[in-house]
Amino acid sequence: MSTRPQPLVVGAGPAGIRAAEALVAGGLRPLVVDEAPACGGQIYRQRLVPDGRSTRDLYGSEVGKADRLHAAFAAFEGKIDYWPQALLWNLRDGVADIVVAGATRRVSYDGLVLATGATDRVLPVPGWTLPGVFTLGGSQVALKAQGCAIGSRVVFAGSGPLLYLVAWQYMKAGVEVAAVLDAAPASAKLHLIKALPLDPGIVLRGTRFVAELRLRGVAIRTGIEGLRFEGEGRVSGVAWREGGRERRLACDGVGYGLALRSETQLADLAGCAFRFDERDRAWLPLRDAAGRSSVAGVYLAGDGAGIAGADAAERAGERVALALLEDRGLAFDKARAAGLEAELARIARLRDALEAAFPFPAHWAAAIDDATTLCRCEEVTAGTVREAASRFDIGEINRLKAVSRVGMGRCQGRMCAAASAEVLAAATGKPIEAAGRLRAQAPVKPIPLALQLAAEPAKLPEAAE
């Protein structure tokens, strides 16, 4: 009888679910660990408690995809091991350290699928730390999982398709959306013409969101500059420049974000090689068309390996599972694998067009006020970063961390590293890739100091229904 360790799938979003499904179909029993209490990831996040809303209320036009993914995961019962509310905080030599059921367990694995997803990307602006200011993803979590809004009169600001989606979701939920403030110029939306033949559904759906927002009287502004959030004790308004004029709008809640940033810390701890991606303005782990990383037995899928969206995540999750089966010498569908790669290549071209339509406002970094907090954990300002870069002739972010403490806090730079790199690059006049990337360290997220190493398997959480 074989004692070969089971594959480990990290993440139960679209990529992780499809990876587990293909592994089960190939005769393996993977262990799936996920930080959330139920499967679905961010986009198909499930409610914490029943609140009277239907799945159509939660997912809108994506309800069919959400239902299919949830149903697929439910069908795994008895065929996988599933640890919800589990945090994988360290990787080394084929062993994972996972906090689950009040203890940390060390798990050996043979085949690691990293489907870690993404988080919001922001640049600090004055007032972004005020209570009532949320990221776009945080705004969405509040609405989907908890059935509550971030305010009664809300402004959404930033850039990216998620900006309009979340604003539309709040409007459909009955919340007053005062405005959508888009950093991208109106002319950038012409790039959507290139996206239309690649996926008409996505483009037309986004166009419908904008049209419905306008019909409800929501002000939509493009090409904004000088964004700042105002208030004493809590956000009470938003100010910005548009066409050379100063504008203000009262609100009691703000959703803010500039597209997404891949979660790559575990890939770093696994020893994966990285490359700089111009489109995402980020260092991403190297992978081939099948999702294999530079480390044998480590596979990358979904937004954690590069922002591509939920549809791509499903296909990439299945594709890496087929690669894992192939690498184990097990049967796999070669024609299906080729078809998935072709689909992923098409979606990559679509994402190129969408990113051009919603460009990241890199020029904002140079205009950030010196007094603006950059690293919230360590209370490091943009001015401190600029001073350190000038005084010590620093152009690389790990050196900047050692001198300024930026990225040394509880989040380990997950929230501030991208913005710090932008500010550093602007201050030195060098391209963003020259700033490098923060080296990941365990634990990738905070864990209790009193945590005990489980000598025997604890009673583990049951899979959520």
* Domains 8-119+261-354 and 362-465 fall in the same CATH topology: no
> Do residues 168 and 255 touch, judged by C-beta distance below 8 A?
no
Rounded (10°) CA dihedral 71, 75, 80, 85: 30
**Residue tagged 């990529």 (tokens):** 15
Question: Which tokens hold the place of 209?
Answer: 């969101």
Rounded (10°) CA dihedral 172, 173, 176, 178: -50
Model confidence, pTM = 0.93
**Residue tagged 């705004």 (tokens):** 139
Environment class of residue 449 by beta-carbon count within 10 Å: exposed (0-12), middle (13-18) or buried (19+)? exposed
Q: 237-242 and 225-230: which strand pairing?
A: antiparallel
Mapped to the 3 state alphabet, what secondary structure does the chain carry? CCCCCCCEEECCCHHHHHHHHHHHHCCCCCEEECCCCCCCCCCCCCCCCCCCCCHHHHHHHHHHHHHHHHHHHHCCCCCCEEECCCEEEEEECCEEEEEECCEEEEEECCCEEECCCEEECCCCCCCCCCCCEEEHHHHHHHHHHHCCCCCCEEEEEEECHHHHHHHHHHHHCCCEEEEEEECCCHHHHHHHHHHCCCCHHHHHHHHHHHHHHHHCCCEEEECCEEEEEECCCCCCEEEEEECCEEEEEECCEEEEEECEEECCHHHHHCCCCEEEECCCCEEEECCCCCCECCCCCEEECHHHHCCCCHHHHHHHHHHHHHHHHHHCCCCCCHHHHHHHHHHHHHHHHHHHHHHHHCCCCCCHHHHCCCCCEEECCCCEEHHHHHHHHHHCCCCCHHHHHHHHCCCCCCCCCCCCHHHHHHHHHHHHCCCHHHHCCCCCCCCCCCCCCCCEECCCCCCCCCCCC
> Do residues 19 and 321 touch, judged by C-beta distance below 8 A?
yes
| Separation of alpha carbons 67 and 374, rounded Å | 39
Multiple choice CATH, 8-119+261-354, 3.40.190.10, 3.30.160.100, 3.50.50.60, 3.30.360.10:
3.50.50.60
Q: Which amino acid is at 363?
A: H
- The pLDDT of residue 447: 87
Q: Where are the domains of the chain?
A: 8-119+261-354, 122-258, 362-465
CA–CA distances in Å: residue 34 to residues 17, 88, 320, 399:
11, 8, 18, 33
| Length of the chain as a residue count | 465
Rounded (10°) CA dihedral 322, 323, 327, 332: 30
Classify each residue of 151-167 as buried b or exposed e, where b means 16 or more C-beta atoms within 10 Å of its C-beta: beebbbbbbbbbbbbbb
> Do residues 33 and 8 touch, judged by C-beta distance below 8 A?
yes
- The pLDDT of residue 335: 98
| Separation of alpha carbons 151 and 17, rounded Å | 33
DSSP result, 149-204: -S-SEEEEEEESHHHHHHHHHHHHTT-EEEEEEESS-GGGGGGHHHHTTT-HHHHH
Specify the fold of 122-258.
FAD/NAD(P)-binding domain (3.50.50)
CATH superfamily placement of domain 362-465: BFD-like [2Fe-2S]-binding domain (1.10.10.1100)
Q: Per residue of the chain (465 residues), what is the pLDDT tens digit?
A: 357 899 999 999 999 999 999 999 999 999 999 999 999 988 888 887 777 777 887 777 788 998 999 999 999 989 999 999 999 999 998 999 999 988 899 999 999 999 999 999 999 999 999 999 999 999 998 998 888 999 999 999 999 999 999 999 999 999 999 999 999 999 999 999 999 999 999 999 999 999 999 999 999 999 999 999 999 999 999 999 998 899 999 999 999 999 999 999 999 999 999 999 999 999 999 999 999 999 999 999 999 999 999 999 999 999 999 999 999 999 999 999 999 999 999 999 999 999 999 999 999 999 999 999 999 999 999 999 999 999 999 999 999 999 999 999 888 888 899 999 999 999 999 999 999 999 999 999 988 877 766 544 444 554 443
